[in-house]
A and B are shown apart, each in its own frame.
Chain A
């Protein structure tokens, strides 16, 4: 089945910088923004952009991600000629290996892509929160006659050294690429979203694979090789909301951004819906004693206490006299009466005992040791226990260090 354009979604990240929060999940399966998981964003963007064939490359702890994606129906990606396909590493007649790098992951699935014989392949990563029309980026790619188009956004100059930085000419064609430069020549950062002309990419992937010294990575190897060979490389400027949620702090920030549409992340806007596989539960109930302000809430939750400046996932219980502020609470967690949760990320299915204290506000805390408090999925906190700010607990409630 010939397709003009298909997408490949790199979802194999271990999420090691999310530490205990991922539990048994791959990073893209981590819940975000109340009812979503991170992978809902690229999948919904594909669906809304008219891309009906998506390969999802997974390798670490894929069970939860695989069952979440299922047939792809929630994202309308269950068509009969395309749809969403989970692509784990596999053994061939001459053996097989783990995905060694982002480029190797695509290399190992050349056979899958060739099935659709596409003109263009969009490469996406599974840890970004943004709304983007990939068809507009493909249009830019075609108009520029490029072999590769990279989406970029302007970042503050001070932050530029954290990113892959592109230098461009007057027509926004890329002249130079520097990975995390100490002295950036530009403030256009790569967002890790690429459009390639497939036959050209196929050739570079094969060459890259033949090089034993390569890390088989797009940013480190394939993009620089293409630039060096003089391929036409276009930049595609993106101005909307985009955030890499690969760290606990950025994940927390992005959740808080959701509460303020001024941040640019307006999920209530239905012009570009983000789809999710949702749980079956009755609407949220707010009791007479509930006081919920500047917060996002979801179905299946019951509120008897106070919630402020927080994002609450489905199926959460906040007991009477309990208070949750500036926190992200993942699905099914129970906060017993009188407990206080501040500046924390609580994993799925945690139980916070009565009158426990989890985390605290930065005001009045020691700025050197203060940080978000993070609990692994299923972590129990005994009644009355105090978990200081900046602490991480694993699923048995033991403290772990970063």
Chain B
């Protein structure tokens, strides 16, 4: 049938995420006060009318499974199709033990799933991409241009960990595919690709037969001249959550109303799992400015330039500046935090002081007590 199928890659482990990546894959890193990174890819797909989505995972996926559930928060819990979670099941020697070396290998490991796809086109996305893309429009452009692969790029050469970059000609046709650059140039790839289902299956089979595993090296780079690789350039906000530094900088950008307006536009809302929390309460002595505050927080102290996830407690006399505090974190009486990313259930005891720097925020691992 005509239409778009979604595949979200969620298998990469990123050591630069430090403690944030120890307990989860990048796709399930909490972001923006109530979301997980994968919510953005899922919402982008669903908002473009996609009904079926497969999520390819490999390791540390307990947190992701817990978050996705049956997919009902994205209307993907369906009788036919809907959400499919795809751990490596098409095992060949050693695949289950070591992470996939590339997207082709990841797809080969779920090869039989590809045969069940009903739609004639596929959108490949990474689960660590935070963006609100008009995927429906991009799909239309893909059909209109007749490209073999449409590649979505950000309108910048921003250095992202392990990024892919594209040099384009005047017609936005890809002329060069680059990665492992010391100084990035060209357009930053958002790892969003649209191509036909049959073509993808052919590529996977052919590459597997040659022991090729890398999508960007063995397909895009190797065949850039024989294939029509067309770029769609996205001008808006697009964050790839691959390092603590990038995580922090991108989080703080959400305090800009223009960026929030674009990323969370009500026209294509980002859907997330609900939390059964009460309203947030800000106390009589509480002071909370230039901050994003999720539900169920209790703020009796000072919070500035920060992002608080649901159920965070900031007790009287505590000061929180430039921090990102995950779900249920507690900052006790008189404690002071600056430039800290505190993972779930972190507790900072009374009177403690912790200072990071905007250029090097300190991460407090999940469940730790300071």
Interface residues of B in 219-241 (CB under 8 A from A): none
B279 contacts A34, C-beta separation under 8 Å: yes
A85 at the interface (CB under 8 A from B): no
Residues of B within 8 A of A312 (CB): 279
B273-298 interface bits toward A, Cβ cutoff 8 Å, 1 = contact, 0 = none:
01010111111111111111111101
Complex CA–CA separation, A273 to B277 (angstroms): 8
With a cutoff of 8 Å between Cβ atoms, the chain A residues found around residue B269 in the complex are: 280-281
Interface set, chain A 221-278, CB cutoff 8 A to B: 258-259, 267-268, 273-276, 278
Which chain B residues lie closer than 8 Å to A296 at the CB level? 278-281
Is A288 part of the binding interface, using a Cβ–Cβ cutoff of 8 Å? yes
By a CB distance below 8 angstroms, the chain B residues around A268 are 278, 281, 296, 298
Assuming the contacts A35-B278, A275-B276, A297-B280, asked whether A282 and B295 have C-beta atoms less than 8 A apart, the reply is: no
Binary flags per residue of A8-22, CB closer than 8 Å to B gives 1, else 0: 000000000000000
Query: A139 CA to B159 CA in the complex, in Å?
Result: 65
CB of A298 closer than 8 Å to a CB of B = yes
B283 touches A299 (CB 8 A): no
| Cα distance, A299 to B257, chains bound together (Å) | 15
Are A283 and B278 neighbours in the complex by a CB distance under 8 Å? no
Please, how many angstroms separate the alpha-carbon atoms of A259 and B298 in the complex? 11
Q: Are B291 and A285 in contact (CB under 8 A)?
A: yes
In the assembly, what is the distance between CA of A290 and CA of B32, in Å? 20
**Is A393 among interface residues, defined by CB-CB distance under 8 A?**
no
Decide if the interface of chain B is mainly helix, strand, loop or mixed: loop
Q: A267-B279, A297-B279 are in contact. Are A283 and B34 (CB under 8 A)?
A: yes
The answer to the question of B271 belonging to the interface, with a C-beta cut-off of 8 Å to chain A, is yes
Given A298-B295, A299-B295: A274 in contact with B283 (beta carbons within 8 A): no
Residue of B nearest to A285 (CB): B292
Asked if B33 is an interface residue, CB under 8 A from chain A, the answer is yes
**Residues of A close to B298: CB separation below 8 A:** 268
Verify if B272 is at the interface (C-beta below 8 Å from A).
yes
User: Counting CB contacts under 8 A, is A295 at the interface?
Assistant: yes
Contacts of B272 in A (CB 8 A): 280
CB-CB contacts below 8 Å: B137-176 with A: none
A292/B282 contact (C-beta < 8 A), A282-B34, A283-B292, A285-B291 known: yes
Taking CB as reference atom, which chain B residue is nearest A267?
Answer: B278
Q: Would you give the shortest CB distance from B43 to chain A, in whole angstroms?
A: 9
Contact B293 A283 (CB under 8 A): yes
Question: How far is B97's CA from A1's CA once the two chains are assembled, in angstroms?
Answer: 48
Partner of B293, one of A34, A35, A259, A284: A284
Task: Kindly supply a per-residue 1/0 record for chain A positions 31-59, scoring 1 wherever the CB is within 8 Å of any chain B CB and 0 otherwise.
Answer: 00111000000000000000000000000
Q: How far is the CB of B76 from chain A (nearest CB, A)?
A: 15
A293 to B303, CA, bound (A): 13
Kindly provide the distance from the CB of A356 to the nearest chain B CB, expressed in whole angstroms: 24
A299 and B272 alpha carbons, distance in the complex (Å): 13
- Assess the A283–B32 pair: CB atoms within 8 A: yes
Most chain A CB neighbours (cut-off 10 Å) among B257, B278, B293: B278
**Does B264 make an interface contact (CB < 8 A)?**
yes
Q: Write the nearest CB–CB distance from A307 to chain B, whole angstroms.
A: 8
A385 proximity list for chain B (CB < 8 A): none
Least CB distance, A319 to chain B, in whole angstroms? 13
Instruction: List which A290-310 residues lie within 8 A (CB) of chain B.
Output: 290-299, 302
- Note all chain A residues with C-beta closer than 8 A to B289: 286-290
A284 to B310, CA, bound (A): 11
Contact with B along A328-349 (1 / 0, CB 8 A): 0000000000000000000000
A311 within 8 A of B: yes
Q: Could you tell me how many residues of chain A have their Cβ less than 8 Å away from some Cβ of chain B?
A: 37
Given A273-B276, A275-B276, A299-B34, decide whether A282 and B292 contact each other with a Cβ distance below 8 A: yes
* Residue B260 CB within 8 A of the other chain: yes
Determine whether the beta carbon of A282 is less than 8 Å from that of B282. Answer: no
**Shortest CB–CB separation between residue A227 and chain B, in angstroms?**
40
Asked if B282 and A285 sit within 8 Å, CB to CB, the answer is no
- CB pair A282–B33 under 8 Å, yes or no, is yes
A154 vs B270: C-alpha distance in the bound complex, in angstroms? Answer: 48
Interface residues of B in 46-81 (CB under 8 A from A): 72
Beyond A282-B33, A299-B34, is A311–B260 a contact (Cβ under 8 Å)? Answer: no
User: Is B278 a contact of A285 with CB atoms below 8 Å?
Assistant: no
Bound-state Cα–Cα, A273 to B298, Å: 16
With A288-B290, A294-B284, A299-B294 known as contacts, the answer to whether A33 contacts B34 (CB < 8 A) is no
- For A278, the closest partner residue in chain B by CB is B274
Q: List the B side residues contacting A286 at CB < 8 Å.
A: 288-291, 293
Please give, as numbers and ranges, the residues of chain A lying within 8 Å of B282 by CB-CB distance: 292-295, 297
Contacts of A259 in B (CB 8 A): 281
A295 CA to B295 CA, complexed, in Å: 13
Cα A400 to Cα B260 in complex, Å, equals 40
* Interface contact B260-A282, CB-CB below 8 Å: yes
Contact (Cβ within 8 A) A284 B280: yes
Q: A298-B295, A299-B294 are in contact. Are A293 and B278 (CB under 8 A)?
A: no
Q: Which residues of B contact A258 (CB under 8 A)?
A: 279
Q: Considering the chains assembled together, what is the distance between the CA atoms of A288 and B255 in angstroms?
A: 10
Contacts A268-B296, A280-B269, A282-B260; is A287 near B290 (CB within 8 Å)?
yes
Residues of A within 8 A of B270 (CB): 280, 282
| Residues of A54-82 whose CB lies within 8 A of B | 73-74
CB-based contact A274/B291 at 8 Å: no
Chain B residues lying within 8 Å of A287, measured Cβ to Cβ, are: 289-290
Query: Nearest Cβ distance between residue A373 and chain B, in whole angstroms?
Result: 22
Complex: how many Å from CA A296 to CA B298?
Answer: 9
Contact partner of B288 among A74, A273, A275, A290, CB < 8 A? A290
A35 touches B295 (CB 8 A): yes
Task: Tell me if B279 and A33 are in contact (CB < 8 A).
Answer: yes
Chain B hits for A281, CB < 8 A: 264, 269
Sample 21 A-B pairs with CB under 8 A, ordered by A number: A33-B279, A35-B278, A35-B279, A259-B281, A267-B278, A267-B279, A275-B276, A280-B271, A280-B272, A283-B32, A283-B295, A284-B280, A286-B289, A293-B284, A293-B285, A293-B286, A294-B282, A296-B278, A296-B281, A297-B279, A297-B282
Q: A residues engaging B (CB < 8 A)? A: 33-35, 73-74, 258-259, 267-268, 273-276, 278, 280-299, 302, 311-312
Q: With A285-B255, A292-B282 given, can you name 15 additional A-B contacts, CB distance below 8 Å?
A: A274-B278, A276-B276, A278-B295, A282-B264, A283-B307, A286-B288, A286-B290, A292-B288, A294-B282, A294-B283, A295-B281, A295-B282, A296-B279, A296-B281, A298-B295
Report B's interface with A, CB cutoff 8 A. Answer: 32-34, 72, 255, 257, 260, 264, 269-272, 274, 276, 278-296, 298, 307-308
Smallest CB-CB A-B distances: 5 pairs: A34-B279, A283-B33, A296-B279, A267-B278, A294-B284
